[in-house]
């Protein structure tokens, strides 16, 4: 299904877009900004489907010819801009897929809609090429720029677009969705929700992982015995996670949940707030062993490690620094 009703949370964005449809005040360019897997493309798709829907309501009917085409990614007037190079959208990508086709009128719908995922990966030349189109678009054109970091776009592009910033979704909504819509058991929904940190896509990704139990078990085993392990053993254990097609940063987030549990239990002694409830004896032992300052230092080190990996710092060096900090605290 792909309707506004299926967008969990993001009430302000839904209201803004549906009001724009009702008032027939559609902007020519939107930036949807949010972290990876937060639902940017889904929101753009629902809005695009609604604009092209033959019934003309504030929700896509999902039954007309246009909606059926959109659901199968075959609506000729909803265009997804792609790029061959993994980390760059070139000026040629923008010229060939946007600038050279935007003046051709829509084939069937009232609008011609361009959705550009990872728009913050556009080169400066690509952005300048797109800017000219955004400044003087045809009446029927709507462009969606989907970004993780809209600040990487030119100020002149930012100022000409309606900015829609995705907010973190409440844990209660994420857990409810996992349990009711996906039939995920309670204990697993708790871990997925904590892992998600307000990002529904991340929660769904972990919930759908066929290796969820293995990944969780390997993380738990590592954390239970980390103080008895050599650094090289720890780095090898972390490296092994890649066989489950899970990004290292996601694995580090699972470790972060463990240490948040430790901190939460140390501060409150409240078992209800602990995610790894089945490991409570080890959580208690870690809470007894570590100081508040030590646990905070570990959590900070996990964030630093994620940032360093993103900046392509040597993997083994990052892991050694991180796990030295964990072993010392």
Q: Domain count of the chain?
A: 2
Read off the pLDDT of each residue in 257-267 and give the average, rounded to a whole number. 92
| Same domain? 130 vs 27 | yes
| Same domain? 219 vs 151 | no
Q: What is the CATH number of the domain that holds 150?
A: 3.40.50.300
Q: What Rg value do the Cα atoms of the chain yield, rounded?
A: 23
Instruction: State residue 216's pLDDT score.
Output: 82
18 within a domain of the structure (yes/no) = yes
pLDDT in tens, 14-60: 999 999 999 999 999 999 999 888 999 999 999 999 999 999 899 99
| Same domain? 148 vs 271 | no
| Same domain? 33 vs 120 | yes
pLDDT in tens, 245-254: 667 878 888 8
Residue 152 pLDDT > 70, yes or no? yes
256 within a domain of the structure (yes/no) = yes
Instruction: State residue 1's pLDDT score.
Output: 64
pTM: 0.79
Instruction: State residue 300's pLDDT score.
Output: 94
89 within a domain of the structure (yes/no) = yes
Helix H or strand E segment including 31: strand 29-33
| Same domain? 230 vs 324 | yes
Which residues, listed in sequence order, are joined to residue 146 by a DSSP beta bridge? 32
pLDDT in tens, 168-225: 999 999 999 999 989 998 888 988 898 888 999 888 888 888 787 788 888 888 888 8
Domain boundary among 165, 184, 199: 165
Which residues, listed in sequence order, are joined to residue 33 by a DSSP beta bridge? 147, 165
For 9-39, letters b (16+ CB in 10 Å) and e give bbeebbeebbebbeeeebebbbbbbbbeebb
Mean pLDDT value across the chain? 90
Instruction: State residue 61's pLDDT score.
Output: 93
- Secondary structure percentages of the chain, helix, strand, coil, to 5: 60, 10, 30
Q: Tell me, letter by letter, the H, E, C secondary structure of 179-216.
A: HHCCCCCHHHHHHHHHHHCCCHHHHHHHHHCCCHHHHH
Domain of residue 248: give its range: 209-328
Instruction: State residue 245's pLDDT score.
Output: 64
Distance (Å, rounded) from C-alpha 244 to C-alpha 210? 9
Instruction: State residue 17's pLDDT score.
Output: 94
191 within a domain of the structure (yes/no) = no
């Amino acid at each position: 299904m792909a309707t506004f009703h299926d967008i969990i949370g993001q009430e302000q964005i839904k209201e803004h877009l549906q009001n724009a449809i009702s008032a027939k005040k559609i902007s020519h360019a939107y930036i949807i900004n949010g972290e990876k897997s937060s639902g940017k493309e889904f929101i753009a798709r629902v809005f695009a489907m609604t604009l092209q829907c033959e019934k003309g309501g504030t929700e896509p009917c999902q039954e007309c010819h246009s909606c059926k085409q959109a659901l199968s990614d075959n609506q000729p007037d909803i265009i997804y801009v792609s790029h061959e190079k993994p980390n760059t959208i070139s000026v040629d990508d923008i010229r060939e897929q946007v600038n050279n086709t935007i003046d051709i009128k829509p084939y069937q719908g009232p609008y011609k809609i361009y959705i550009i995922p990872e728009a913050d990966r556009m080169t400066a030349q690509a952005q300048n090429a797109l800017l000219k189109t955004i400044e003087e678009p045809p009446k029927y054109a709507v462009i969606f720029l989907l970004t993780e970091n809209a600040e990487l776009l030119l100020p002149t592009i930012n100022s000409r677009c309606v900015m829609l910033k995705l907010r973190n979704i409440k844990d209660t909504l994420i857990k409810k969705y996992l349990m009711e819509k996906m039939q995920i058991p309670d204990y697993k929904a708790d871990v997925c929700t904590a892992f998600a940190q307000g990002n529904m896509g991340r929660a769904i990704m972990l919930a759908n992982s066929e290796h969820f139990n293995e990944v969780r078990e390997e993380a738990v085993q590592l954390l239970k015995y980390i103080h008895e392990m050599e650094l090289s053993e720890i780095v090898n254990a972390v490296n092994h996670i890649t066989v489950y097609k899970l990004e290292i940063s996601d694995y580090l987030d699972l470790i972060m949940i463990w240490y948040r549990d430790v901190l939460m239990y140390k501060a409150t002694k409240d078992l209800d707030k602990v995610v790894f409830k089945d490991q409570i004896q080890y959580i208690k032992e870690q809470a007894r062993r570590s100081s508040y300052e030590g646990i905070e230092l570990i959590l900070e080190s996990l964030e630093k490690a994620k940032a360093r990996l993103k900046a392509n710092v040597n993997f083994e060096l990052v892991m050694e620094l991180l796990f030295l900090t964990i072993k010392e605290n």
